[in-house]
Amino acid sequence: MPDHPEKRTVKVCIIGAGPAGLLLARLLEQCGIASVVLERRSREHVEKRVRAGLLEWSTVEAFRAAGVAHRLDRHGMVHDGMELRHDGAAFRLAFSELTGVPMVVYGQQEIVKDLIGARLESQGEIHFGVTDVRICQVGVDGSLVQCTLDGIPVEISCEFLAGCDGHHGVSRAAIPAQRRSSHQWAYPFAWLGVLAKAPPLSPELIYAVTDRGFALQSMRSPDVSRLYLQVPPNEPIHLRSDEEIWHELDLRLTGGTGKLPTGTITERVLVGLRAHVEEHMQYRTLFLLGDAAHIVPPSAAKGLNMAVADARLLAEGLDHWYRSGRRDLLDGYQSHSLRRAWHGQEFSEFMTSLLHVSPGESAAQRRMRRARLDLLRRSSTAATAFAEQYVGLSRP
């Protein structure tokens, strides 16, 4: 960076163009608060990056309020329940009946496309391929960021800084080490995920718990399935042939009946199951959102929904500050978001232990898992409590 970079000022600088960063920018724009979004990757990369696609109803409402739910409402698949299979038996948990709200399947990459499209249409400032972002200062009255935009070295002075750039981004590292405190752990298995040109076995999600390991059937459209297999954490992504993957999925999802629809596998991904929580999600004028603040295993599909909740909360706090000059909502961001993060972690931990066979697991541990599944099937009270957590109503 040269001695005299071009100087810019903005109220809010947002690092990261994932759902949290893009939604925050959109909500701030609706409040008349100017922001700039800096993204390390290319636009093509972030729009094709396949992630979670299971949306809580509050998340759907957030996108509607932001005016970016036109495609979601047309193409999102409403799920009023899901199916759990174990020991050759199956039962359905009816979310809409138990809680009053459904879930919606709509790919994260589609959400990102919608938010980027809205940002560009409104001529909001967003930059892709910014690989040299450096947070030079996080002060009590503002922060300073340096980077290169369109080949020009720039120094951005902002009143607030939103770190939405993930676990390995520059934002989390900008909090002084003596102020950071975190918890992290990993699970002894992974998910092999495939995207396939094949209709789903069922119009709703199927979670299959077997002695061979877990399997999940999801979908992206009536003709495209998203499926996952529990595998060892270090399994090479191309170890299994397509035929072996379909065979194992059929064994776990149908008991080997051959009823699972098959087709061309167009994409593979290996997803590690890990968890992380930052106890300090704000420092002076810097706020962490989404994966920069917390990571959950995908078992309960909470990551995207928690990131959206972070964006809504911070947008509300910033709007309150700029309208009234009061920091009470901003100062409460950490405690509120952290409480929700731990609730999301707790349910994700419960789902992970409920669904997966751990290496070296004892017969007694397997019997306890079966007892928990049996309780969900037999007790409407247990089923309702589970459903409230699954759809996000129990997360404060």
Cβ atoms within 10 Å of 331's Cβ, excluding its own? 12
pLDDT in tens, 135-144: 999 999 999 9
Please give the average per-residue pLDDT across 150-166, as a whole number: 97
Of 106, 228, 333, 390, the active-site residue reads 390
38 within 8 A of 133, measured Cβ to Cβ: yes
Q: Is residue 168 flagged as an active site residue?
A: no
Of 106, 187, 207, 228, the active-site residue reads 207
Q: Is residue 259 flagged as an active site residue?
A: no
Cα–Cα distance for residue pair 212/251, rounded to 1 Å: 9
Of 19, 102, 200, 298, the active-site residue reads 298
> Quick one: which of 130, 129, 108, 106 has its CA closest to 19?
108
Cα–Cα distance for residue pair 343/392, rounded to 1 Å: 10
DSSP assignment of 47-100 = HH-----EE-HHHHHHHHHTT--HHHHHH-EEES-EEEEETTEEEEE-HHHHHS
Task: Say if pTM beats, i.e. exceeds, 0.85.
Answer: yes
pLDDT in tens, 359-390: 989 999 999 999 999 999 999 999 999 999 99
Q: Is residue 106 flagged as an active site residue?
A: no
Q: Is residue 390 flagged as an active site residue?
A: yes
Q: Is residue 236 flagged as an active site residue?
A: no
Of 19, 79, 113, 187, the active-site residue reads 79
In 155-227, alpha helices (H):
170-173
pLDDT in tens, 249-286: 999 999 999 999 999 999 999 999 999 999 999 999 99
What's the chain's Rg over C-alpha atoms?
22
At residue 391, the pLDDT reads 96
Can you list the pairs that 356-361 forms with residues at least 24 positions away whose Cβ atoms lie under 8 Å?
A: 356/187, 356/189, 356/213, 356/214, 356/230, 356/299, 357/189, 357/210, 357/211, 357/212, 357/213, 357/214, 357/230, 358/187, 358/188, 358/189, 359/188, 359/189
Cα–Cα distance for residue pair 179/226, rounded to 1 Å: 40
In which band, very low, low, confident or very high, does the pLDDT at 50 lie, cut at 50, 70 and 90?
confident
At residue 2, the pLDDT reads 58
At residue 321, the pLDDT reads 98
In the chain, alpha helices (H):
19-30, 43-48, 57-65, 70-75, 95-99, 108-121, 170-173, 242-254, 303-324, 328-331, 333-355, 363-378, 380-390
Q: For residue 11, what is the enclosing H or E element? A: strand 6-15
Give residue 165's region: left, alpha or beta (phi > 0; psi -120 to 50): alpha
The amino acid at residue 24 is: L
Please give the average per-residue pLDDT across 107-114, as a whole number: 95
